[in-house]
Amino acid sequence: DTTYGWWAGNSGVANRSEKFIAAHVAHAGLIVFWAGAFTLFELSRFDPSVPMGHQPLIVLPHLATLGIGFDANGVAMGDTKPVLAIAIVHLVSSMVLAAGGLLHSLLLPGNLEDSDIARARKFNIEWDNPDKLTFILGHHLLFLGFAVIAFVEWARVHGIYDPAIGAVRQVEYELNLAKIWNHQTDFLTIDSLEEVMGGHAFLAFVEITGGAWHIATKQVGEFTKFKGKGLLSAEAVLSWSLAGIGWMAIIAAFWSAANTTVYPVEYFGEPLELKFSISPYWIDTVDLPDGEFTSRAWLANVHYYFGFFFIQGHLWHALRAL
């Protein structure tokens, strides 16, 4: 029986599927705009005379690990057109997403059940209709799986940066289930790109298989409270989403702070030292001018504190959903 004040943003989307989509699309547009704009911002501040890992950069090091725009020393390869093209594509895409958000918010019916398109009505959210919810979940998993496949194929066909040889090379994934299982506990020290991509290939398989399963199957037996009846709501879904992204951010913080295979020293700086105060934090292990930090320090600390606050948001919305 959660209620919302007129000022609460959630009030407009909690039980209106078309507005729910509008919010998602607009949010995606903001994220994509940030990626494009920040790429241009970092490129304008990039100093080729200073190691990339010793500059406060986030986007450019990730492009470099994908073999785009920079050499093994983190120096622009004389042609920044690929980086500029990626930034512009993101900016244009953000405008398309913004237009989509406005379209769904202002011009289309507030609920998909009122749509004139039969296929669109199949995606209308009904919190006590498990067949609808599992159908929508399945499509989310499919898109995630295809995105992971794109990354695996990029590494296989184009290549990614391998710090072991100091160059971009093509990486064939190693689909070894025993190694993937064992890396659940030692992934922080993984040092094989083949095994990293093998984990991604396995993840793509699980997501696409799970997506197909959720799309094809329907509720078996009675939809009871144990299965979610009366518990599922926009507030509950938001709480679970925040929990997922929060834990991923915290894991990424620990991973980026220590691993030098996925996060090469050339692009992110030296591994960090973990400290404890009110909460964990990481400091640089290399001497830099006062007020300057490595890309790794920015990445690890920002991820951790974002993750921490996402978890608080999860708890808040989970309690409201009960």
Tens of pLDDT along the chain (322 residues)? Answer: 556 666 666 666 777 788 888 888 999 999 999 999 999 999 999 988 888 999 989 999 999 999 998 877 666 665 788 999 999 999 999 999 999 999 988 888 878 888 888 888 888 888 888 888 899 999 999 999 999 999 999 999 999 999 999 999 999 999 999 999 988 888 888 999 999 999 999 999 999 999 999 999 988 878 887 777 888 888 888 899 999 999 999 999 999 999 999 999 999 999 999 999 888 999 999 999 888 999 999 999 999 999 999 999 999 989 988 8
For residue 231, the model assigns a pLDDT of 81
pLDDT (0 to 100) of residue 9: 64
CA atoms within 13 A on the CB side of 69: 22
**Which conformational region is residue 217 in: left (phi greater than 0), alpha (psi within -120 to 50 degrees), or beta?**
beta
Query: How many other C-beta atoms can be found within 10 angstroms of the C-beta atom of residue 279?
Result: 9
What residue type is 168 in one-letter code?
A: V
pLDDT value for 70: 84
Residue type, 68: I
DSSP state of 160: E
| Cα–Cα distance, 52 to 57 (Å, whole number) | 8
pLDDT at 23: 87
Strand boundaries in the chain, DSSP class E: 160-162, 167-169, 273-276, 280-283
70, β-bridge pairs: 76
Q: Alpha-carbon torsion 236, 238, 240, 242, what sign?
A: negative
Exposure string for 61-76, b = 16+ CB within 10 A, e = fewer: bbbbbbbbbbbbebbb
Say what the pLDDT of residue 159 is: 95
Q: Degrees (nearest 5) of the Cα angle 110, 112, 117?
A: 125
**CA–CA separation, 111 vs 20, rounded Å?**
9
Beta bridge partners of 281: 275
If you ran DSSP here, which 8-state letter would residue 260 be given? S
Determine phi and psi for 274, rounding to 5 degrees.
-85, 130
The confidence score (pLDDT) of residue 74 equals 65
Q: Can you read off the two tokens belonging to residue 252?
A: 């990424």
d(CA 57, CA 253): 16
The residues near 20 (Cβ < 8 Å, ≥ 6 apart) are 13, 125, 234
Quick one: pLDDT at residue 117? 84
Q: Are 306 and 72 in contact (CB under 8 A)?
A: no
pLDDT at 228: 77
